[in-house]
């Protein structure tokens, strides 16, 4: 099982949802980087479970214990290793259904690939809980990027069928993105917030779940990040975005909608704004030829409905090799979209940081 990503900065994640701890080792950080632990803790709190009726009731503080690579408030240059202890597990919920393969989970594929030796409790290493260490690493990268004027922010674009407005991909302000990160339920048009929350609560009451879409933007990137083909900005970002559990689609700029346009409509025409080169539209989402062009980098990700639901479903008993029924018990998010925002921002920061090395 591989839990390693990156070339210039290398991440290694470890742990299981109901194990003693989860964590990450980061190789490649330069010595002398000052880390704002309050900033990191705020990012961790954004992702942490159990903070509202919209999330799982599993309460975890997600306090980070840095074991190495950090001394007197700054990085030392050695591998930075951090752990997050699991303090509120209820593993008995999973022992009752350990042989029943949960639909749309990694249970069956994990069982087959690892010969039944994988930790099934809470999804084990397949769990979205493992994104907490990624948020820690992303918070470090976000700090470094912000010191260079690069700002990352997201909003909830959709919950189920309820849509928010989209970012203005040409004229997007730093302050708008910064304000969104302070909001527990960030939307551009506040009039849709109540309906989105209602859809989540309704699904929860009905022992079901809903998915959604997150739109993310990165401002003030220099022209020239990325490479054609294999190390393009899109491929680097997509690799990490698709590493986040439940992400099923990624689109940059106009995305799938660009396929409806003619070239004369889709092309982003150039103009000069003082000494800066800009485009009058941004259908390509700030990336051309796999390389940043100086416009806002904008993309969306589709998040599937939480697979663990209380409704009775058809499945198989892997031990008996026969059809069965499953009603999943335990503590699960009726919608993971609000808690996924800081994860998406984190992996975005990691990808941009890698590209800038």
Q: From the annotation, which residues make up the binding site for FMN?
A: 125-127, 289, 304-308, 331
Helix (H) or strand (E) holding 144, with range, is helix 131-147
DSSP 271: E
Q: Binding site: which residues?
A: 47, 125-127, 289, 304-308, 331
Cα angle vertex 81, ends 78, 86, to 5°? Answer: 175
Helices 337-356, 131-147: inter-axial angle, 10-degree rounding: 50
Burial class (CB in 10 A: 0-12, 13-18, 19+), 2: exposed
127: its two tokens: 């769990």
Give the separation between CA 30 and CA 217, rounded to whole angstroms: 26
Q: How many CB atoms lie within 10 A of CB 191?
A: 9
State the chain's maximal CA–CA distance in angstroms.
Answer: 71
Whole-angstrom distance, CA of residue 343 vs CA of residue 28: 21
CB-based contact 34:140 (threshold 8 Å): no
**Nearest-10 Cα torsion for 285, 287, 290, 291:** -160
Residue entry with tokens 């084990």:
124
Binding residues for NADP(+): 47
H or E element, residue 107: helix 107-113
Residues 304, 308, 310, 311, CA torsion sign: positive
d(CA 83, CA 3): 15
d(CA 264, CA 254): 14
**Residue 33 exposed, middle or buried by CB count within 10 Å (0-12, 13-18, 19+):** middle
Dihedral through CA 153, CA 49, CA 157, CA 345, nearest 10? 30
Is residue 162 within 8 Å of 195, Cβ to Cβ? yes
């Amino acid at each position: 099982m591989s839990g390693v990503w990156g070339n210039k900065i290398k991440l290694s994640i470890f742990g299981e949802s109901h194990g003693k701890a989860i964590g990450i080792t980061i190789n490649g950080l330069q010595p002398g980087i000052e880390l704002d632990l309050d900033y990191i803790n705020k990012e961790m709190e954004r992702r942490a479970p159990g903070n509202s009726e919209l999330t799982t009731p599993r309460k975890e503080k997600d306090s980070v214990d840095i074991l190495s690579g950090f001394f007197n408030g700054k990085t030392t240059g050695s591998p930075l290793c951090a752990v997050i202890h699991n303090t509120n597990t209820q593993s008995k919920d999973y022992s009752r259904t350990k042989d029943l393969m949960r639909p749309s989970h990694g249970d069956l594929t994990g069982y087959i690939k690892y010969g039944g030796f994988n930790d099934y409790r809470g999804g084990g290493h397949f769990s979205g809980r493992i994104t907490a260490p990624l948020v820690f690493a992303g918070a470090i990268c976000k700090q470094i990027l912000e010191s260079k004027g690069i700002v990352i922010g997201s909003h909830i674009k959709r919950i189920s069928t309820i849509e928010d407005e989209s970012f203005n991909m040409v004229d997007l302000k730093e302050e708008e993105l910064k304000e969104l990160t302070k909001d527990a339920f960030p939307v551009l048009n506040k009039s849709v917030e109540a309906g989105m929350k209602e859809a989540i609560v309704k699904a929860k009451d009905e022992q079901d779940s809903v998915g959604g879409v997150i739109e993310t933007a990165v401002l003030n990137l220099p022209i020239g990040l990325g490479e054609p083909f294999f190390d393009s900005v899109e491929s680097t970002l997509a690799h990490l975005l698709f590493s986040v559990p439940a992400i099923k689609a990624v689109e940059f700029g106009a995305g799938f909608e660009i396929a409806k346009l003619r070239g004369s409509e889709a092309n982003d025409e150039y103009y000069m704004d003082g000494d800066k080169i800009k485009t009058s539209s941004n259908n390509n989402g700030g990336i051309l030829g796999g390389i940043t062009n100086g416009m806002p980098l904008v993309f969306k990700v589709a998040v599937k409905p939480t697979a663990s639901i209380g409704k009775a479903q058809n499945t198989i008993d892997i031990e008996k090799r026969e059809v069965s029924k499953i009603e999943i018990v335990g503590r699960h998010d009726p919608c993971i979209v609000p808690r996924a925002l800081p994860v998406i921002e984190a992996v975005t920061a990691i990808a941009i940081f890698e590209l800038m090395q």
